[in-house]
């Protein structure tokens, strides 16, 4: 699905953020990318959709090479990659519907988007998605009137209405409380399973990553130092990624409330729908 | 903690803004000496001041009672001309400012465009409205057309600069998010940039209407037409009661715009 080959990024300041990264993400896989601040997590996902231009190396989505695309080709390729952001990055003065519809900008013409005359099929899809994330009665609210959890749900709907093959998720829970964080992660993983989306999720919270991802990649100073199943994160591995610290409390025990191996594929700990929708 | 409790308590002072004590005192001393000299050389001719006070009183008294009626036609004509000048120059000025402002925003425009637009802004900001009006009166002759041009050019310097600065201050995350969807440049401008700067654009435009109306009075005095020309005529004819009426009307209109613009700005937030 997504394949990175010897991806390198050197910023103008001379910092080498990514050092020859090679990575395969198959269809339907939810991969968590962990690592300390400055390890290059954000740079890595931004090099995929070229919000940051990689210095060298190759990025392939399916059988399309992304690094050599011109402006028009890049815009078409970006439609296939939905992005979810830290701090939501909604356009605050626009309504929920306008924010969701901005995910369709790559598909509709300028005048339609300028006059907000969205195609009916897009409006239908937006209502369906907003219902799915539990916000169908908030359509005309302005984005800055919503709570953090609600905003991130709008962010998710905006990414999904693009009908992407891949989700790039940058610290989706960084400004959310622990319960909302879990709900958001669960929602993202459920949606990935429903639509067989591949996802790269940058996340600081190691426990959340272990809870929801099928695969963990640890990044340190621009290099992959761990790539394996969530259970493989031992104290030694975490020390290698983050440095010396007492990791005992962070490592998820096998006998926790949600058994890690009970679900063979897809997100772990899928719960009842009411729980997802409650307390937003 | 335990150590601190045992020993003498540690003093704390806010670190001074200028670290070097000598430079700090030298600056204070320098400012004091300059002010002393500045006021020392201010020549006040007290004899003239004493003479001037009764003259000022007579002058002010001749403004009362204001006479709205005897020159009503030319007053109304001046007001209409000023309002026409205000509206057209604001609309044209803002319309020109939008592309210039976009080009003058560091985070939007490539460097050559940025430099060009910044030069346009700097040039039009260099000249105050009166100077521009004198220039356009020389080129196009007396009348409101010269005033309209002067105010339009001045509007570009004001509006494009502040618009560019607002665009530079916008939230980059929102802009990035819309770019990531595959939006074209104009769609991105319309969906990510415009919503962020719109309230300020409206607020500034309304404020500029306010400024342009006041400046239309000044511009008129140098030949640019409008209420300023009427005002100048009444002063020239020593019709101070009519001049008082004109001044009162200007004050009234400016106040009305002041109230409505603050209300409008709150509403568009």
Task: Tell the burial category of B53 from Cβ atoms under 10 Å away from its Cβ (0-12, 13-18, 19+).
Answer: exposed
A40 pLDDT above the threshold of 70: yes
Segments in chain B forming alpha helices (H): 2-6, 21-40, 46-61, 72-103, 111-126, 129-140, 144-168, 172-179, 185-188, 194-219, 227-236, 240-268
- Residue A83 token pair: 């992005």
> What percentage of residues in chain A have a pLDDT greater than 90?
65
| A78/B180 touch (CB, cutoff 8 Å), yes or no | yes
Q: Which residues of A are less than 8 Å from B188 in CB distance?
A: 105
The residue of chain B with its CA nearest to that of A75 is B182
Q: Does A105 touch chain B (CB under 8 A)?
A: yes
User: For residue A4, what is the enclosing H or E element?
Assistant: strand A2-10
For A49, the closest chain B residue by CA position comes to: B180
What's the pLDDT at B269? Answer: 74
- Average pLDDT across chain B, whole number: 88
Taking only the tens place, the pLDDT of each residue in B189-201 is 999 999 999 988 9
Cβ–Cβ below 8 Å for B177 and A81:
no
Q: Output the six-digit token pair for A132.
A: 């799915």
Mean pLDDT of A116-140: 92
A23-to-A8, A18, A195, B186 alpha-carbon distances in Å: 12, 12, 22, 34
- How far A106 CA lies from chain B's nearest CA (Å)? 4
Cis peptide before A115 (omega within 30 of 0): no
Q: Give ipTM to 2 decimals.
A: 0.83
Which residues touch B150 (CB under 8 Å, ≥6 apart)?
B89, B129, B132, B133, B135, B136, B219, B224
pLDDT, residue A275, reads 44
Tell me which residue has tokens 């890049």: A74
pLDDT confidence band for A280 (50 / 70 / 90): very low
Inter-chain residue contact A92 with B182, CB threshold 8 Å: no
Rounded to a whole number of angstroms, the distance from the CA of A123 to the nearest CA of chain B is 17
Compare CB distances from A105 to B174, B176, B183 and report the shortest one's residue.
B183
pLDDT band with cut points at 50, 70 and 90 for residue A254: very low
CB contact under 8 A, B184 and A158: no
**A277 pLDDT more than 70:** no
**Long-range contacts, stretch A172-180, CB < 8 angstroms, 24+ apart:** A172/A84, A172/A85, A172/A86, A172/A201, A172/A203, A173/A203, A173/A205, A173/A208, A174/A86, A174/A87, A174/A204, A175/A86, A175/A87, A175/A148, A176/A148, A176/A149, A176/A152, A177/A148, A179/A279, A180/A148, A180/A149, A180/A152, A180/A279, A180/A280
- Cα dihedral sign for A2, A173, A40, A224? negative
Residue A31 has pLDDT above 50, yes or no: yes
Q: Looking at residue A187, what is its pLDDT?
A: 92
- The pair of structure tokens assigned to A240 is 């290698």
B173 touching A (Cβ < 8 Å): yes
| pLDDT score recorded for residue A269 | 41
Which tokens in the block code for residue B176? 């990035």
Measured CA distances, A12 to A16, A52, A55, A249, B2 (Å): 9, 12, 10, 39, 49
Q: What percentage of chain A carries pLDDT values higher than 70? A: 90
Confidence of residue B25 (pLDDT cuts 50, 70, 90): very high
- Residues of chain A in contact with residue B199, where contact means CB-CB under 8 angstroms, are 93
Average pLDDT over chain A, rounded to an integer: 86
CB-CB under 8 Å, A75 with B191: no
Q: What pLDDT score does B222 carry?
A: 86
Residue B180 at interface with chain A, using a CB cutoff of 8 Å = yes
Residues in chain A within 8 Å Cβ distance of B177: 83, 85, 89-91, 102, 155, 158
Which range has the worst mean pLDDT, A192-201, B3-12, B27-36? Answer: B3-12
Chain B residues whose beta carbon lies within 8 Å of the beta carbon of residue A114: 187, 190
CB contact (8 A) between residue B180 and residue A93: no
Q: Is A158 on the interface with B (CB under 8 A)?
A: yes
The number of angstroms, rounded, from the C-alpha of A139 to the middle of its chain's C-alpha atoms is 23
Q: Which of B81, B120, B128, B93 is nearest to B207 (CA)?
A: B93
Query: Which positions ≥6 away from A195 have C-beta within 8 Å?
Result: A160
Residue B243: which pLDDT band, with cuts at 50, 70 and 90? confident
pLDDT of res. B235: 85
Give the pLDDT score at B233: 86
The DSSP 8-state label assigned to residue A32 in this structure reads E
Which pLDDT score is estimated for B71? 79
Cβ–Cβ contact B189 with A under 8 A: no
Alpha helices in A161-205 (DSSP H): 178-195
8 A C-beta contact, residue B230 and residue B77: yes
Q: Which of B83, B102, B154 lies closest to B124, judged by CA?
A: B154
Q: How far is A162 from chain B (nearest CA, A)?
A: 7
- The confidence score (pLDDT) of residue B5 equals 56
CA distance A54 to A72: 18
B191 at interface of A, judged by CB pairs closer than 8 A: yes
Q: Is the pLDDT confidence value at A125 over 90?
A: yes
Strands across the sheet with A2-10, in order? A16-25, A2-10, A56-61, A64-65
Question: Is residue A161 pLDDT above 90, yes or no?
Answer: yes
Nearest CA in chain A to B196: A93
Task: Mutate one of B166, B175, B179, B183 to test the A interface: name it (highest A CB count within 10 A).
Answer: B183
| pLDDT tier at A236, thresholds 50, 70, 90 | confident
**pLDDT higher than 60, residue A273:** no
Q: Between A49, A91, A104, which is nearest B192 by CB?
A: A91
Whether residue B113 is predicted with pLDDT greater than 60 in this model: the reply is yes
Contact criterion met (CB below 8 Å) for A19 and A202: no
Contacts of A205 (CB under 8 A, 6+ apart): A173, A181
pLDDT at A111 over 60: yes
Query: In this predicted model, what pLDDT tens digit does every residue of B164-219 receive, in sequence order?
Result: 999 999 999 999 999 999 999 999 999 999 999 998 899 899 889 988 998 888 88
Residue A215, SS3?
Answer: strand
In the predicted model, is pLDDT for residue B21 greater than 90?
A: no
Q: What pLDDT is attached to residue B6?
A: 64
CA dihedral A227, A232, A235, A239 (to 10 degrees): 0
What's the gap in Å between the CA of A78 and the closest CA on chain B? 5
pLDDT at residue B7 greater than cutoff 80 = no
Do the Cβ atoms of B177 and A106 come within 8 Å? no
Nearest to A89 among B177, B190, B199 (CB): B177
Q: Are A212 and A267 in contact (CB under 8 A)?
A: yes
- Which residues in chain A are closer than 8 Å to B186, comparing Cβ atoms? 110
Q: According to the model, what pLDDT value does residue A51 have?
A: 92
Q: What pLDDT is attached to residue A81?
A: 93
Mean pLDDT of A235-240: 87
Inter-chain touch A75–B192, beta carbons under 8 Å: no
pLDDT of residue B62: 80
User: In this complex, is the C-beta atom of A76 within 8 Å of any C-beta atom belonging to chain B?
Assistant: yes
């Amino acid at each position: 699905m997504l394949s990175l080959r010897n991806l390198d990024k050197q910023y103008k300041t001379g910092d080498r953020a990514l050092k020859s990264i090679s990575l395969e993400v198959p269809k339907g896989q939810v991969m968590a990318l962990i690592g300390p601040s400055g390890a290059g997590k954000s740079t890595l996902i931004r090099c995929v959709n070229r919000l940051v231009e990689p210095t060298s190396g190759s990025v392939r989505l399916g059988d399309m090479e992304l690094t050599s695309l011109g402006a028009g080709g890049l815009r078409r390729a970006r439609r296939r990659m939905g992005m979810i952001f830290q701090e939501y990055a909604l356009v605050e003065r626009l309504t929920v519907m306008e924010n969701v519809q901005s995910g369709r900008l790559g598909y509709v013409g300028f005048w339609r988007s300028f006059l907000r005359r969205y195609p009916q099929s897009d409006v239908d899809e937006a209502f369906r998605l907003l219902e799915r994330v539990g916000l169908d009665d908030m359509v005309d609210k302005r984005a800055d009137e919503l709570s953090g959890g609600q905003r991130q749900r709008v962010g998710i709907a905006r990414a999904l209405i693009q009908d992407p093959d891949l989700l790039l998720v940058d610290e989706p829970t960084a400004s959310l409380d622990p319960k909302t964080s879990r709900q958001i992660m669960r929602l993202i993983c459920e949606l990935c399973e429903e639509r067989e989306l591949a996802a790269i999720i940058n996340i600081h919270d190691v426990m959340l990553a272990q809870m929801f991802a099928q695969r963990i990649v640890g990044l340190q100073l621009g290099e992959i130092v761990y790539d394996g199943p969530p259970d493989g994160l031992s104290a030694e591995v975490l020390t290698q990624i983050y440095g010396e610290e007492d990791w005992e409390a962070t490592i998820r025990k096998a006998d926790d409330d949600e058994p890690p191996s009970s679900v063979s594929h897809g997100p772990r700990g899928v719960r009842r729908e009411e729980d997802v929708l409650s307390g937003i | 903690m335990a150590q601190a409790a045992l020993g003498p308590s540690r003093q704390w002072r806010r670190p001074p803004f200028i670290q070097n004590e000598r430079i700090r005192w030298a600056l204070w001393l320098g400012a004091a000496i300059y002010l002393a000299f500045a006021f020392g050389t201010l020549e006040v001719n007290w004899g003239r001041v004493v003479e001037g006070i009764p003259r000022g009183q007579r002058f002010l008294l001749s403004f009362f009672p204001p006479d709205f009626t005897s020159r009503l036609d030319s007053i109304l004509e001046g007001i209409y001309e000023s309002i026409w000048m205000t509206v057209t120059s604001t609309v044209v000025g803002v319309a020109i400012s939008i592309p210039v402002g976009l080009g003058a925003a560091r985070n939007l425009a490539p460097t050559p465009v940025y430099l060009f637009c910044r030069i346009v802004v700097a040039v039009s900001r260099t000249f105050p409205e009166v100077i521009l009006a004198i220039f356009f009166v020389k080129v196009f002759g007396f009348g409101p057309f010269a005033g309209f041009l002067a105010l339009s050019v001045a509007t570009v310097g004001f509006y494009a600069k502040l618009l560019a600065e607002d665009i530079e201050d916008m939230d980059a995350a929102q802009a990035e998010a819309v770019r990531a969807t595959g939006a074209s440049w104009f769609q991105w401008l319309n969906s990510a940039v415009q919503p962020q700067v719109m309230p300020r654009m409206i607020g500034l435009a309304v404020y500029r209407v306010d400024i342009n109306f006041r400046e239309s009075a000044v511009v008129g005095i140098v030949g640019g037409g409008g209420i300023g020309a009427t005002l100048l005529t009444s002063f020239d004819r020593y019709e101070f009661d009519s001049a008082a009426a004109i001044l009162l009307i200007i004050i009234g209109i400016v106040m009305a715009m002041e109230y409505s613009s603050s209300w409008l700005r709150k509403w568009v937030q």
